[in-house]
Chain A
Amino acid sequence: GNSVTQMEGPVTLSEEAFLTINCTYTATGYPSLFWYVQYPGEGLQLLLKATKADDKGSNKGFEATYRKETTSFHLEKGSVQVSDSAVYFCAPFTGRRALTFGSGTRLQVQP
């Protein structure tokens, strides 16, 4: 089955700092890769995705590149804002079963 390893949080940054949240995965076949975000008091929502090797997913200033050779999908943002404070989940999808989520990384951005 699929599995995900995410860096442990919380990650605490000052506003406008650079963000990296590491994610590595194991999966059978060639998964699509997702980052979901959970803002305080809200449901999970898709942040970005990539469906094949070397694809870059991007949304709201966040980016992640599908690296097949290192089985990684690290999330980056050049300048974080307080409103980015949330929990971020990495998830591979192979189409045969439901999404498998990592344990999540909490991001706290201080003004």
Chain B
Amino acid sequence: DTGVSQDPRHKITKRGQNVTFRCDPISEHNRLYWYRQTLGQGPEFLTYFQNEAQLEKSRLLSDRFSAERPKGSFSTLEIQRTEQGDSAMYLCASSPSGSGDTGELFFGEGSRLTVL
């Protein structure tokens, strides 16, 4: 399978705990995006990387959130001191850049976070 993969698919945690999600993009894609989607809403942009550089962060990304893409391949999204309001589906997507960038994003199936 050469699509975008995310792990874990579902995480249940207690308020105050830290959680980390991993995303493996399509191998030849050098752009990687994180979105958050709550029930009944569209995906909200969190941040994106081109290779290992984090080029943009949304104001939604509070200081409890940190994303990395150290080698320009997989990425992690960590949420520290989770709150119930963090419960959502965290979506990862990838795309090529340069002349291959048509704007189309390729999404993984998401990681669902439930904070108790």
List A residues at the B interface (Cβ < 8 Å): 4, 32, 34, 42-46, 49, 51, 89, 93, 95, 97-104
Pick from A51, A99, A102: contact of B105, CB below 8 A.
Answer: A99
What residues of A have a CB within 8 angstroms of the CB of B109 in the complex?
Answer: 42-43
Q: Is the CB of A98 within 8 A of B107?
A: no
Within 8 A of A (CB), among B22-43: 33, 35, 40-43
Q: How large is the interface on B (under 10, 10 to 19, 20 to 34, 35 or more residues)?
A: 20 to 34
Q: Is the interface of B mostly helix, strand, loop or mixed?
A: loop
* Chain B positions within 8 Å of A98 at CB level: 33, 35, 45, 48, 56, 105
Given A98-B33, A98-B56: A44 in contact with B104 (beta carbons within 8 A): no
Question: A44 is contacted by which of B40, B43, B48, B56 (Cβ under 8 Å)?
Answer: B43
Q: Please indicate the chain B residues that have their CB under 8 angstroms from the CB of A43 in the complex.
A: 4, 91, 107-110
Give complex CA distance A90, B40 in Å: 14
B108 touches A95 (CB 8 A): no
Q: B102 at interface (Cβ–Cβ under 8 A)?
A: yes
Query: What is the CB-to-nearest-CB distance from A1 to chain B, in angstroms, rounded to a whole number?
Result: 10
Interchain CB contact (< 8 A) of B103 among A44, A49, A104: A49
Which A residues lie within 8 Å of B110 (CB)? Answer: 43
15 pairs of residues in contact across A and B, judged by CB atoms under 8 Å: A34-B103, A43-B91, A43-B107, A45-B107, A46-B104, A49-B103, A49-B104, A89-B42, A98-B33, A98-B56, A98-B105, A99-B103, A100-B45, A101-B35, A102-B42
CB distance from A71 to the nearest CB of B (A): 17
Within 8 A of A (CB), among B42-59: 42-45, 48, 56
A76 to B108, CA, bound (A): 26
Contact assessment for A101 and B42 in the assembled complex, using a CB-CB cutoff below 8 Å = yes
Residues of A within 8 A of B45 (CB): 97-100
Known: A44-B93, A103-B40, A103-B42. 13 other contacts (CB 8 A): A4-B42, A32-B102, A44-B105, A46-B105, A49-B102, A89-B42, A97-B48, A98-B33, A98-B45, A98-B48, A101-B42, A103-B41, A104-B42
